[in-house]
Amino acid sequence: MDLIRESIRDIPDFPKPGIVFKDITPLLSDPEAFKRVLDLLVERYSGRSLDRIVGIESRGFIFGAALADRLGVGFVPVRKPGKLPYRTVKEEYSLEYGTDAIEIHEDAVPEGGAVLIVDDLLATGGTAAAAVSLVRKIGGEIVEVAFVVELGFLKGREKLPEVPVFSLVNYE
């Protein structure tokens, strides 16, 4: 885990004063660190029955698609409204100031299909909770929600009480 943790850069006061942003771009540019993340995720999910891996826009696409390829499982993107070309299901969720939404194709997961949701970071949990709701709306069963980084002090897991949550690196 040290290699992964050391590959995550702190950016103070981004995107606004008082926030320390956890930047994963150095991890992505380091082939050894990126491979280590994928190796650990493959180790965790190999042998599990999965029908789809759902990646949350946008960095969840990077980890989710690579993991889906390694596991031989289909990949499904969850995107901001208006970005997917086929019929979609939408889920709105609350932000600190206002609301946002994400969408998934209505036929992205087989009925009763086992789904792993992947994203780069768990902060307050709103987007992840919306993704869980979307997958359930279209008939999927959540196996787990996985993150590379968790900001534990923001208590995002509390918005995901009905699903198992896993993170590689947790900042308490």
Indicate whether 65 pLDDT > 90.
yes
Contact 25, 7 (CB under 8 A): no
Between 95 and 27, residue with greater pLDDT = 27
Q: What is the per-residue pLDDT for 95?
A: 79
Q: Looking at residue 99, what is its pLDDT?
A: 92
- One DSSP character per residue, 11-41 reads EET-SSTT-EEEE-HHHHH-HHHHHHHHHHH
Residue found under tokens 């103070």: 12
Mean pLDDT of 39-65: 97
Question: First vs last Cα of the chain: how many Å apart?
Answer: 15
Domains of the chain: 2-171 (3.40.50.2020)
pLDDT in tens, 122-166: 999 999 999 999 999 999 999 999 999 999 999 999 999 999 999
Taking all residues of the chain, what is their mean pLDDT, rounded to a whole number? 97
Cis peptide before 15 (omega within 30 of 0): yes
Residue 1 confidence (pLDDT) above 90: no
Mean pLDDT, residues 3-31:
96
Could you tell me which residue, 63 or 1, shows the higher pLDDT? 63
Looking at the annotation, which residues are catalytic? 59, 96
Separation between Cα atoms, residue 152 and residue 11, nearest integer Å: 18
70: tokens are 């390694």
pLDDT at 60: 98
Phi, psi of 36 (to 5 degrees): -65, -45
Listed in sequence order, the residues at least 6 apart from 35 whose beta carbon sits closer than 8 Å to its beta carbon are: none
Tell me: pLDDT of 168 over 90. yes
pLDDT at 74 over 90: yes
Band the pLDDT of 96: cuts 50, 70, 90: confident
Query: Looking at residue 98, what is its pLDDT?
Result: 82
